Amino acid sequence: MKALSLIQPYATLIMLGYKQYETRSWDTKHRGPLAIHASVGKPAWAREVAETDPHISVILAQHGLTFDTLPRGAVLGTVEVLGTYRFVETPTDGQGKPSLVPRTLPTVELACGDFTSGRYGWKLRKSGELAKPIPCKGALSVWTLPPEVAQELQQLGI
């Protein structure tokens, strides 16, 4: 199974269902199941987002979470990658690629990513959340889960 590592709080926001687009500077051809991995890093900018963004800080508080209590270095669950979009200023800017005008998205979604024109959004649908995260090393880009982690997800029906 393929996986994607994300800095917290974004991995958790996906698993809670608030973040439905993962924004990247690059597109992917991957469709289907994708494990969401929370990376171990705690960059200062991510702490600031988690603690001061009016949308994200409220969501975390509603779920009894803080930046320091978010799981890290573990797979949190799975999503389905439904497709990708290129973000554009106007609907006519797409140039053949399916495009999306960010201002049409909910405010909470906009707080969860970089929707700069020209970037890509991977449309995600949550498919399985783990009650207990599975410890695992992450990697850059889309990567393959270690066999033992993939097997554990399969045994859990996720």
For the chain, the first-to-last Cα distance in angstroms comes to 11
Closest by CA position to 70, among listed 107, 99, 36, 104:
36
Tens of each residue's pLDDT in the chain, 158 residues: 999 999 999 999 999 999 999 999 999 999 999 999 999 999 999 999 999 999 999 999 999 999 999 999 999 999 999 999 988 877 665 566 677 778 788 999 999 999 988 899 999 998 888 889 999 999 999 999 999 999 999 888 88
pLDDT of residue 99: 78
Over residues 54-82, the pLDDT tens digits come to 999 999 999 999 999 999 999 999 999 99
Residue 67 DSSP class: G
How far is 127 from 141, CA to CA, in rounded Å? 21
Domains of the chain are 2-84+121-155 (2.30.130.30)
Residue 125 DSSP class: E
